[in-house]
Amino acid sequence: MTWWQGTVGYEIYVRSFADSDGDGFGDLPGIRARLPYLAELGVDLVWITPFYPSPQADHGYDVSDYLGVEPTYGTVDDVTKLVDDAHRLGLRVVVDLVPNHSSSEHPWFVDARSSADARHRDWYVWRDPAPDGGPPNNWVSNFGGPAWTFDEASGQYYMHLFLPEQPDLNWANDEVRAEFVRIIDTWFARGVDGIRIDVAHSLIEDEHFRDNPVIAPYDPTAPPGERFNAFEHLHDQDQDGVLEIYRGWREVAAKHDAMLLGEVYLLETDRLRRYVEERDGLHLAFAFATLHSGWDVDEIRPMLAELVAVGGEHFAWPLGSHDDPRAATRFGGGEVGARRARAYFTLLCALPGVPFLYQGDELGLDDGVLEDDAAQDPVAVRNPGAAGRDPVRTPIPWEPGPGFGFTEGTPWLPFGTNRRDLHTAAAQQGVAGSPLERTRDLLRARRELPALRGGAASRWLTEDGAVVAIERTLPDGGPGGHVVGALHVGGGDGDATPATLELPAAGRLVYASHDGASVAGTVLTLPADTAVIVELSS
Ligand code: NOJ
Ligand code: MG
Written in H, E and C, the secondary structure of 303-331 is: HHHHHHHHHHHHEEEECCCCCCCCHHHHC
Q: Are strands 92-97 and 45-48 parallel, antiparallel or unpaired?
A: parallel
Other beta carbons within 10 angstroms of residue 504's beta carbon come to 14
Q: Closest residue (by CA) to atom 4 of ligand 1? A: 323
Q: Which of 199, 263, 324, 379 to mutate to test the pocket of ligand 1 (most atoms within 8 A of CB)?
A: 199
CA of 61 to the centre of ligand 1 (A): 6
414-419 long-range contacts, Cβ below 8 Å, gap at least 24?
414/368, 414/370, 414/371, 414/374, 415/368, 416/367, 416/368, 416/369, 416/370, 416/391, 417/368, 417/369, 417/370, 417/371, 418/366, 418/368, 418/369
Q: Closest residue (by CA) to atom 2 of ligand 1? A: 198
Q: Evaluate: CB of 198 within 6 angstroms of ligand 1.
A: yes
At residue 468, what are phi and psi to the nearest 5 degrees? -110, 125
Q: For 220, which DSSP code?
A: T
**Which numbered ligand comes closest to the C-alpha of 265?**
1
Residue 493 in this model has a pLDDT that exceeds 50:
no
Q: For 515, which DSSP code?
A: T
pTM of the predicted model, to two decimals?
0.98
Q: Closest residue (by CA) to atom 10 of ligand 1? A: 61
Whole-number Å distance between alpha carbons of 483 and 537: 9
CA of 143 to the centre of ligand 1 (A): 10
CA of 260 to the centre of ligand 2 (A): 28
- Segment 67-90, tens digit of pLDDT: 999 999 999 999 999 999 999 999
Whole-number Å distance between alpha carbons of 245 and 323: 25
Please, what is the average pLDDT of the chain? Answer: 96
Label residue 495 by pLDDT band (50, 70, 90): low
CA of 12 to the centre of ligand 2 (A): 14
Whole-number Å distance between alpha carbons of 358 and 74: 22
Residue 504 in this model has a pLDDT that exceeds 70:
yes
- Segment 261-296, tens digit of pLDDT: 999 999 999 999 999 999 899 999 999 999 999 999
Identify the three-state secondary structure at position 195. strand
Q: Which of 61, 142, 286 to mutate to test the pocket of ligand 1 (most atoms within 8 A of CB)?
A: 61
At residue 508, what are phi and psi to the nearest 5 degrees? -125, 130
Q: Which of 196, 198, 265, 324 to mutate to test the pocket of ligand 1 (most atoms within 8 A of CB)?
A: 198
- Provide the terminal-to-terminal Cα distance of the chain, rounded to the nearest Å: 23
Instruction: Give pLDDT, residue 73.
Output: 98
- Segment 437-479, tens digit of pLDDT: 999 999 999 999 999 998 899 999 999 999 999 999 999 989 9
Instruction: Give pLDDT, residue 132.
Output: 96
Mean pLDDT of 12-38: 98
Whole-number Å distance between alpha carbons of 421 and 513: 23
- Segment 194-204, tens digit of pLDDT: 999 999 999 99
Angle, helix 76-88 to helix 28-41, in steps of 10 degrees: 10
For 185, half-sphere exposure in the C-beta direction (CA atoms, 13 angstrom radius) is: 11
Q: Evaluate: CB of 62 within 6 angstroms of ligand 1.
A: no
Q: Evaluate: CB of 47 within 6 angstroms of ligand 1.
A: no
CA of 263 to the centre of ligand 1 (A): 9
Instruction: Give pLDDT, residue 494.
Output: 47
Label residue 218 by pLDDT band (50, 70, 90): confident
Residues noted as catalytic: 198, 263
Residue 492 in this model has a pLDDT that exceeds 60:
no
Q: Is 117 exposed, middle or buried (0-12, 13-18, 19+ CB in 10 A)?
A: exposed
- The candidate with the shortest Cα–Cα distance to 139, out of 78, 205, 93, is 205
| E strand intervals along 282-388 | 284-286, 315-318, 354-358
* Single-letter residue type at 55: P
Residue 484 in this model has a pLDDT that exceeds 70:
yes
* Single-letter residue type at 523: V
Mean pLDDT of 135-151: 97
Mean pLDDT of 404-427: 92
CA of 102 to the centre of ligand 1 (A): 12
Q: Closest residue (by CA) to atom 3 of ligand 1? A: 323
CB 289 within 8 A of CB 316: no
- The candidate with the shortest Cα–Cα distance to 343, out of 311, 295, 304, 390, is 295
128-136 long-range contacts, Cβ below 8 Å, gap at least 24?
128/155, 128/156, 128/157, 129/155, 129/156, 129/157, 136/209
CB 492 within 8 A of CB 500: no
Other beta carbons within 10 angstroms of residue 183's beta carbon come to 17
Q: Is 385 exposed, middle or buried (0-12, 13-18, 19+ CB in 10 A)?
A: exposed
Residues with CB under 5 A from ligand 2 (ion): 19, 21, 23, 25, 27
CB 482 within 8 A of CB 501: no
- The candidate with the shortest Cα–Cα distance to 264, out of 249, 274, 252, is 274
At residue 523, what are phi and psi to the nearest 5 degrees? -110, 120
Q: Following DSSP, what letter does each residue of 127-158 receive, concatenated?
A: EPPPTTSS-SS--B-TTSSBSEEEETTTTEEE
